Amino acid sequence: MADMSPRERLLIALRGGQPDRVPCSPHITRWIRHHYGCVCPDHQLKLAEEYGLDLLIQYGAYTWRSVSNDYIYTPGGGHSHNALGQFGDLPGVSVDLRVENEPEHVTSRRTFHTPAGVLRDVIQWARPNMGYGDGPNPHRVEPLVKSQADLDALAFLYPLPRQDVLADIPLTRERIGDGGLLIATDCTHAGCWAMEALGPEMMLLASVTDPELLRAVCRLGQDQHLRNLRAMLERGLEAAWVNWFQCGPSVGWSPGAFQEFFLPLITEQIAVIHEYGAIGVYQDDGNMRDIIPDLVAAGVDAIGGLQPPDVGDVVLREVKQQCGERVALVGGLDPCYTFDLGTPERVREAVKQALDDAAEGGGYVLGTAEAIAPETPAASLQAMSEAAREWGSYERWWQASGCSNRRGAARGEDRPAVEGSQSAGLSTRPNGQRRQVLGLMRPMEWSNEEWQAVDGPLPDREVRLQQRGRPAPEAGPPGEAE
Q: How high is the mean pLDDT of the chain? A: 85
CATH code of the domain containing 50: 3.20.20.210
Whether residues 140 and 168 fall in one domain: no
Question: Which residues in 17-34 are b (16+ Cβ under 10 Å) and which e?
Answer: bbbbbbbbbbbbbbbbbb
The Cα 245–Cα 137 span in angstroms is 13
User: What pairs with residue 294 in β-bridges?
Assistant: none
Domain that holds residue 370: 6-66+160-413
pLDDT single digits (tens) 354-396:
999 999 999 999 999 999 999 999 999 999 999 999 999 998 7
User: What pairs with residue 185 in β-bridges?
Assistant: 241
**Residue 284: its H or E element:** none
The Cα 323–Cα 60 span in angstroms is 30
- Note if the pTM is more than 0.95: no
Model confidence band, residue 407 (pLDDT cutoffs 50, 70, 90): very low
**What pLDDT, on a 0 to 100 scale, did the predictor assign at position 84?**
61
Is 264 exposed, middle or buried, given 0-12, 13-18 or 19+ CB atoms closer than 10 A?
Answer: middle
pLDDT single digits (tens) 63-101:
888 999 999 999 987 665 555 678 889 999 999 999 999
Within a domain: residue 449?
no
Within a domain: residue 419?
no
Whether residues 105 and 230 fall in one domain: no
**What pLDDT, on a 0 to 100 scale, did the predictor assign at position 402?**
52
Within a domain: residue 88?
no
As for how many domains the chain has, the answer is: 2
Percentage of the chain beyond pLDDT 70 is 80
pLDDT of 56 > 70? The answer is yes
CA-to-CA dists, residue 435 to 298, 448, 452, 464, 475, angstroms: 10, 13, 11, 10, 27
Residue that terminates a domain, selected from 413, 435, 453: 413
Specify the 3-state DSSP secondary structure of 95: strand
Whether residues 248 and 193 fall in one domain: yes
Within a domain: residue 370?
yes
**What pLDDT, on a 0 to 100 scale, did the predictor assign at position 220?**
98
Model confidence band, residue 1 (pLDDT cutoffs 50, 70, 90): low
Please tell me what DSSP assigns to residue 21.
Answer: B
Whether residues 130 and 221 fall in one domain: no
**What pLDDT, on a 0 to 100 scale, did the predictor assign at position 77?**
77
Whether residues 125 and 176 fall in one domain: no
Whether residues 131 and 214 fall in one domain: no
pLDDT of 37 > 90? The answer is yes
pLDDT single digits (tens) 413-451:
233 334 443 333 333 444 433 333 323 333 444 444 444
**What pLDDT, on a 0 to 100 scale, did the predictor assign at position 81?**
54
Whether residues 307 and 357 fall in one domain: yes
CA-to-CA dists, residue 447 to 97, 317, 319, 354, angstroms: 57, 14, 11, 22
Within a domain: residue 184?
yes
pLDDT of 9 > 70? The answer is yes
How many residues are present in the chain? Answer: 482
Residue that terminates a domain, selected from 413, 443, 468: 413
Whether residues 299 and 218 fall in one domain: yes
Whether residues 168 and 277 fall in one domain: yes
Whether residues 392 and 337 fall in one domain: yes
Percentage of the chain beyond pLDDT 90 is 74
**What pLDDT, on a 0 to 100 scale, did the predictor assign at position 76?**
85
**What pLDDT, on a 0 to 100 scale, did the predictor assign at position 467?**
43
Within a domain: residue 71?
no
pLDDT single digits (tens) 269-328:
999 999 999 999 999 999 999 999 999 999 999 999 999 999 999 999 999 999 999 999
Within a domain: residue 396?
yes
**Shortest CA distance to 280 belongs to which of 318, 317, 243?**
243
CA-to-CA dists, residue 70 to 87, 158, 162, 264, 288, angstroms: 10, 7, 11, 23, 27
pLDDT of 468 > 90? The answer is no
Contact 259, 206 (CB under 8 A): no
Model confidence band, residue 131 (pLDDT cutoffs 50, 70, 90): confident
**Shortest CA distance to 223 belongs to which of 144, 284, 155?**
155
Whether residues 106 and 183 fall in one domain: no
Whether residues 200 and 275 fall in one domain: yes
Q: First CA to last CA across the chain, in angstroms?
A: 17
Residue that terminates a domain, selected from 413, 430, 446: 413
Within a domain: residue 461?
no
